[in-house]
Chain A
């Protein structure tokens, strides 16, 4: 009788655990593959993003103090030269500002709103993807700064990726080297069009370039501007190897990125044209 009771008790416990785990599995499986963040996920991105920001600032501060200590030698001489350069730059900067303000005012007067360059915003990287399968970043600017899904992310060297998700204070960036990233590109010298795919490593693969197209090591790859995500002519990388196999229509081309993805710190996000007027 006692054994039967304990069996019933154990069965009840297993049944309860089974139900809970099944419900959890149903909820999770129903969301697998969904690409949009829901409200709790945006909240999580915001809250933990603030923690990441604090940690980044503190570690950045410690790093800066160490760098300052190392660079102490010859600082005085360098400081003098830089001060002179800064004085010169400040004067010319004031001139440029004046000219820019006048230019903007005149363009508005001429109703050249559509020809204005899209506004940009800079952001600091506050987090990196810990996984070995994905290449994403978290940055310290979000939808409250005008950032939206799909906006291009660049550095002065070239394309970094595009915005994947946003919350009010932070955003997630899909790097161009992620295997899930694909960018429409051109070979600059002959305007041949292809698709640049990430490999998960520090290189890209260029797809759909026919065998009769002349491609050589060192050729520059730029964005085509098709699809509307990226502006035309932004550099992505240069050809590092070309293989023409006997079978198949296309060449196998590897591209070395212009951007060093291990050294990224600050990024530029190109906002939409209308963000300037909102």
Chain B
């Protein structure tokens, strides 16, 4: 699983999300492809690499978003733990689960962030911006599947062929028993 290309992709998405998307009109300003990438990493990468990647991306986001250091890595590690736990119970690699999973993850991250911010800075607690959350959920629902296809393509492109052969080799025995 290639970490450096996905880290560069995360940096590129962060730049677009902070410098370009806010200039777009209307709902397009609420696009959040970096979050889809985070969920993709949580699903597709092995636990060690996924933990490393979500921590690094969280640290990057800490620089450009918010005022508390460590809030994003902590939130993303908790999200990773949740997704890895669920993935033991469901076949999350299937595309049918992608949209509901991304939306559920966003709701989890929003709830966790609200709780953490209220704890760290109780005097600055505000009401939950429901309208913004709903718009973002809607936008995430639209972009999730195309972005997952794109990230899969990047993964195939940058994964060494030998490793890919091991991943997609025919499985022996009855896997549905």
Contact = CB atoms under 8 A, between A and B. Distances in A.
Nearest to B66: A134
A93 interface: no
B63 interface: yes
A273 B71 CA distance: 36
Interface of A: 16-17, 20-21, 24-25, 28-35, 37, 41, 44-45, 48, 51-53, 55-56, 59, 63, 126-134, 136, 138, 164, 172, 174, 178-180, 197, 199-201
Interface string B64-84: 111111110110010001000
Contact of A48 (B58, B64, B116): B64
Contacts of A133: 66, 113-114, 117, 126
A29 B120 CA distance: 12
16 contacts: A21-B51, A24-B55, A25-B77, A28-B70, A28-B74, A32-B120, A33-B120, A35-B67, A51-B12, A52-B18, A52-B19, A128-B22, A129-B18, A130-B22, A132-B133, A138-B18
With a 10 A CB-CB cut-off, give which of B32, B125, B126, B129 has the most chain A CB atoms: B126
A51 B14 CA distance: 10
Contact of B60 (A24, A44, A63): A44
A128 B20 contact: no
Contacts of A33: 68-70, 120
With a 10 A CB-CB cut-off, give which of B21, B51, B70, B121 has the most chain A CB atoms: B70
Nearest to B31: A130
B23 interface: yes
Given A20-B48, A200-B129, A131 B16 contact: no
Secondary structure of the B side of the interface? Answer: helix
Contact of B11 (A25, A30, A48, A126): A48
A129 B70 contact: no
A59 B70 contact: no
B65 A129 contact: yes
Interface residues of B, number: 50
Nearest to B78: A25
With a 10 A CB-CB cut-off, give which of B21, B62, B136 has the most chain A CB atoms: B62
B79 to A, nearest CB: 13
B51 A24 contact: yes
Contacts of B114: 133
A179 B62 contact: no
A174 B67 contact: yes
A199 B126 CA distance: 7
B70 A127 contact: no
With a 10 A CB-CB cut-off, give which of B64, B71, B73 has the most chain A CB atoms: B64
Contacts of B19: 51-53, 55-56, 59, 126-128
A251 to B, nearest CB: 19
A44 B67 contact: no
A164 B126 contact: no
A7 to B, nearest CB: 16
Nearest to A35: B67
Contacts of B149: none
B83 to A, nearest CB: 13
Contact of B63 (A24, A44, A53): A44
B71 to A, nearest CB: 6
Contact of B74 (A25, A127, A136): A25
